[in-house]
Structure 1
Amino acid sequence: MTTRRKFLASAGVGAAAAGLAAPALAQSKIRWRMQTYAGVALADHVIRPAIESFNKIAGDEMEIELFTADQLVPTGELFRAMQQGTIDAVQSDDDSMASPTEVTVFGGYFPFASRYSLDVPVLFNQYGLNEIWGAEYEKVGVKHISAGSWDPCNFATISPIRSLDDLKGKRVFTFPTAGRFLAQFGVVPVTLPYEDVEVAMQTGELDGVAWSGITEDYTVGWAGPARYFLTNNISGAWIGHFFANMDRWNEVPERLQELLRVCMDQSHYYRQWWYWGGEARLRVEGTKMELTSIPDEDWDKVETAARTFWDEIAEESETKARIVGIFKKYNEDMQKAGRPYRYTRA
C-alpha cells in the first residue's frame, strides 16, 4: 500500500488516480465465516436456507461460509471467537455461547418466559428487548442483528417421566440456565459436545435431553435412543439470535446489512411454521417415542418455582431486574387477553 501511494504521488495523478482505484476496491468480495450452534441435520432447517438465499442475492459482493456445531470452535467458545474476529458471525443463544453480558442468562430457555413461539418476537419487537440486547452487545464489540424463536423445551428420555419424582437423578443434556433451574428437582445437568449426545444416550452416559421439542429429537436422531417424550415443557420457545463481530458488521455496505436482516427474518419465519407444525405432527404421527405427561397439580409446582427463580435472577443486577419486569408485564398482559393468548385451567 505504501508503494502504491508513492507511485500515485510521483505520477502526479492525485485524485484522478484515486478515483480510478475505487472500482477495484468495490469489486473485492466480502467473505464471512459463520458458525451455528446446530449440528448438520438441524442446520439444514434453522440456518442453511437463509444463508444460501443471502449468498445467491449478494452474488459477487459478499459470501457467507457456514460452519455447524463445534466445527471451528466449541459452542462454549463461540462468543470469544466472534469478539476476537476468528469467526465473523454466529447463530446461537446467549447462554450456551457464554457471552459476558447481563442478558446471557435469558438466552436459550429461560424457564416459562414464553408459552408459544410468537411470544419471543413480540417481546423483542414490542416490549423493548431488542434495545436492551443491542446495547448490551455493543458494550462488548458485538452486533446483535436479530432475535427469533425456536421450539419448546421438553424432556426426551430413555425411561418414562410421569411425576416430578421421576426427574430425580436424571442425567440430562441441557442449557446452562435450564440446568440451573432444573437442578432443584433432582435433574443432573450434563455438558457434552452436541454431536456426542446421541451416542451418550446409547451408552447410558445420558438419561436424556432437555434441549428441544420433538421436531429436533427426530431431526437430529435423538428419538432413536430416547423412547419417551414428556409433553410438559419448561419453556414455550428457545430464544436464539444472529450476531456479528462489530468491526466486520461496520465494513459491510448498508444495503448488504439490510439484506442480511431480511434473510435472517426469513429464517425466523421458516422456523415458526416448521417447528409449530412439526411439534403437532410428530406428537400425532411419530412412532419412535411414547408420550408421557406429569399431572397439572404437580407441574404447577414447577411453574411456581420458575417465578421464584425469576426473582432470584432479578436481584443480580438492574438490567436483569428490568428484563424480568418485562417478562412479568408481558405474561400478565397475555393472561388478561385470555384465549387464545393464555388460558386458565378449570
Structure 2
Amino acid sequence: MKKRALAAAVMLSLLSGCGPAKEKKAEAPAAGTTPVVNWRMTTTYPSNLFLIGTLAKRLSDTVRTISDGKVNLKLYEPGVLAPPFETFDAVSYGAVEAGWSTPGYWAGKEPALQLFASVPFGPPAREYLAWFDYGGGKEMFEKIYHKHNIHSIMCGLEPPEASGWFKKEIKSLDDFKGLKIRFFGLGAKVMEEVGAAPQLIAGGEIYQALELGTIDATEYSMPAIDEKLGLYEVAKHYYFPGWHQQSTFFDLMINLQAWNKLTDVQKAQIETACSSNIRYGISEGEAKQVAALKRLEAKGVHIHTWPPEILDGLHKAWDKVAADMAKKDPTFAKAWTSLQAFRKDYKTWSERGYLKE
C-alpha cells in the first residue's frame, strides 16, 4: 500500500512537470506572500472637484496600479465616513486608515501645520518643495504629525490661487473692515488683522453662504476650481494675485499604526504615487487656468489686480501675525524660522538663476 501511494505521488509530480524536490520549493513563496492592503480613505474635498479632489482619485488609481492591486486606497466622499473638518481625528483615532486633505485645516490641533500648507507672501512651488525636501521641512512636518498618531506624506501641490471673490469692489484696506469673508489658513489671520471677519466654510457650502448674504466675499482656489463652484454667479469681482496662497500643499494622512504595518515596498509605492501626484498637480494646475480665466471674463466677471498699496498693507499685517504666532507657539516659531532662513539663502540662487518676468 505504501509503495503504491509513493508511486502515485511520484507519477502526479511527473505529470505536473516537477519532481518532489521542486514541489517543496514552490510552497515557500506562498507562505511569505505580502498581504493585500485595503484601506479606507476619506477626503475633505469632493472627488470631482478639479485638482484638489481629482488628485485624491488619481492617487488611489496610481497606488493600485503600481502595486499590482496589492495596495488599495478606497476613496470615500466627504461626510460618508467623516465630516470634512473631522478628517484629522478620524485618521488619528484609527476610525479610517487614511485621509486626503491639506495641513492648513488643522490649526486647532497644531498651529505650525499651517506653514506646511500655504504661507502668505510665501514661496512658489519650486521653492516650497526645495525647503520641504532639503531644508528641514519634512523632518519637522513628520514629527508634528507623529505626536498625533499620524504619518503624513506630501501628496499634491497646486499653483497660485486667486485672491478671492467680492460682491463689491475693494479700493482700500479700509474696505476690509467688517467684511464677512470666507478665508483659509494663515491668510484668515491677516484678514482679521486688517479688520475683516473671516470664517472657515467647507467648499460645498460657500455658494449658498454668498447667495444668502451670510458672507460678503470668499477665497477658495484657482480659476479652474472656482469656476466649477459657480462663484461667478453670486460675486462678480475677482481679485489677483493670491497673496495668501502662492502655492498650496495637500497631504495624505495615514494612521501611524497602519503605516508601520506596511512593508518597505508598500511604503515606497505610496510615496512614489504621491511624488507623481505633486508633479501632475503643478503641470495640470498651470495648464488649465488660461482657459478658465477666459470663460469667466466671458461670463461678465470683473478681474482685478491688487494695487501695490493694498498688497503692502496686507504684507505688513502678515509680518505682525507671524511674529505674534511665533511668540505664542515654539513649534510654529521653529518652522517659521527655518522657512525664513531657507528663503533668505535661496535668493542667492533665484535672483541669479531665473529671468524676471
TM-score range, shorter chain: 0.7 to 0.9
Give the corresponding residue for 1:246. Answer: 256
Q: Which residue of 2 aligns with 1:173?
A: 182
Question: 3-state SS of the aligned residue for 1:40?
Answer: coil
Aligned equivalent of 1:259: 269
2:140 to 132, 136, 161: 132
> 2-side partners of 1:187 and 1:339: how far apart?
39
Q: Which residue of 1 aligns with 2:14?
A: none
SS of equivalent residue, structure 2 residue 247: coil
1:161 partner SS: coil
Which amino acid is the alignment partner of residue 198 of structure 2?
P
1:33 aligned to 2:54?
A: no
1:142 matched to 2:147? The reply is no
Distance in 1, matches of 2:295 and 2:345, equals: 35
Tell me, in whole angstroms, the C-alpha distance in 1 between the residues paired with 2:278 and 2:332: 25
Residue 64 of structure 1: how far off its partner (Å) = 1.0
Query: What's the TM-score once normalised by structure 1's chain length?
Result: 0.83
Post-superposition CA distance 1:199-218 (Å, at most 9, x none): 22222222222222222201
- CA RMSD in angstroms comes to 2.8
The 1:218/1:119 distance shift into structure 2, 3 A limit, reads: farther
User: Is 1:92–1:242's contact at 8 Å kept on the other side of the alignment?
Assistant: yes
Residue type of the alignment partner of 1:302 = L
Shift of 1:172: 1.7
* In 1: Cα distance, 2:255 partner to 2:187 partner: 27
Deviations 1:128-149 (A, max 9, x none): 1001111222222211222542
In the alignment, structure 1 residue 49 sits paired with structure 2 residue 58: yes
Counterpart check, 1:157 vs 2:166: yes
1:332 aligns with 2:341: no
- For 1:243 and 1:138, the matched residues in 2 are separated by 10
Distance in 1, matches of 2:332 and 2:155, equals 18
- Contact 2:45 2:78 (8 Å CA) reproduced: yes
Residue of structure 2 in register with 1:269 after alignment:
279
* Structure 2 equivalent of residue 188 of structure 1: 197
Residues 70 and 193 of structure 1 are in contact (CA less than 8 Å); yes or no, is this contact kept in structure 2?
no
SS in 1 for 2:104: coil
Q: In structure 2, how many angstroms separate the alpha carbons of the residues matched to 1:334 and 1:341?
A: 12
Could you say which residue in structure 2 is the equivalent of 1:303?
315
SS at match of 1:338: helix
Q: What CA distance in whole angstroms lies between the structure 2 residues aligned with 1:193 and 1:212?
A: 12
* TM-aligned CA distance change 1:272 to 1:284, over 3 Å: same
Tell me, what secondary structure is at the counterpart of 1:145?
strand
CA distance in 2, matches of 1:220, 1:269: 25
Q: Residues 21 and 175 from structure 1, CA distance in 2 versus in 1: closer, same or farther, beyond 3 angstroms?
A: farther
Superposed, 1:58-69 pairs within 5 Å as 58-69=67-78
Counterparts of 1:76-225 in structure 2, within 5 Å, are: 76-98=85-107, 100-101=109-110, 103-114=112-123, 116-146=124-154, 148-153=156-161, 154-225=163-234
Alpha-carbon spacing, 1:27–1:240, altered in 2? closer, same or farther (3 Å)? closer
- Of structures 1 and 2, the larger Rg is shown by 2
- Return closer, same or farther for 1:328/1:97 CA change in 2, 3 Å cut-off: closer
Residues 138 and 297 (structure 1 numbering): CA distance in 2 closer, same or farther, change over 3 Å?
A: same
Q: What is the TM-score normalised by the length of structure 2?
A: 0.81
| Greater mean alpha carbon deviation, residues 252-261 or residues 183-192 | 183-192
Residues 159 and 263 of structure 1: CA distance in aligned 2, closer, same or farther (over 3 Å): same
Unpaired runs of 5+ residues, structure 1, are 1-18
Deviations 1:216-264 (A, max 9, x none): 2013333332322101322311232222001111122221211111111
Q: Is the 8 A contact 1:334 1:342 kept in 2?
A: no
Q: Distance in 2 between matches of 1:325 and 1:342?
A: 28
Would the alpha carbon gap of residues 168 and 213 (structure 1) be closer, same or farther in structure 2, given more than 3 Å must change?
farther
Letter aligned with residue 39 of structure 1: P
Q: 2:332 aligns with which of 308, 315, 320?
A: 320
Residue type at the aligned position of 2:48: A
Distance of aligned partners of 1:146 and 1:294 in 2 relative to their CA distance in 1, 3 Å threshold:
closer
| Residue 265 of structure 1, CA deviation | 1.1
What code does the residue aligned with 2:351 have?
G
Which region of structure 1 is more displaced relative to structure 2, 250-259 or 280-289?
A: 280-289
Check 1:58–1:178 CA distance in 2 against 1; reply closer, same or farther (3 A cut): same
Q: How many residues align?
A: 326
- Give, in angstroms, the shift of residue 339 of structure 1: 6.4
Q: Deviation per CA, 1:265-293, whole angstroms, max 9, x where unpaired? A: 11111110122233344335533422112
Shift of 1:321: 1.8
- 1:32 alignment partner, SS class: strand
Mapped to 2, the partners of 1:166 and 1:31 lie a distance apart of 51
SS in 1 for 2:341: helix
Contact 1:159 1:228 survives alignment (8 Å) = yes
1:84 deviation in Å?
0.8
Q: Return 5+ residue gaps in structure 2 as ranges.
A: 1-25
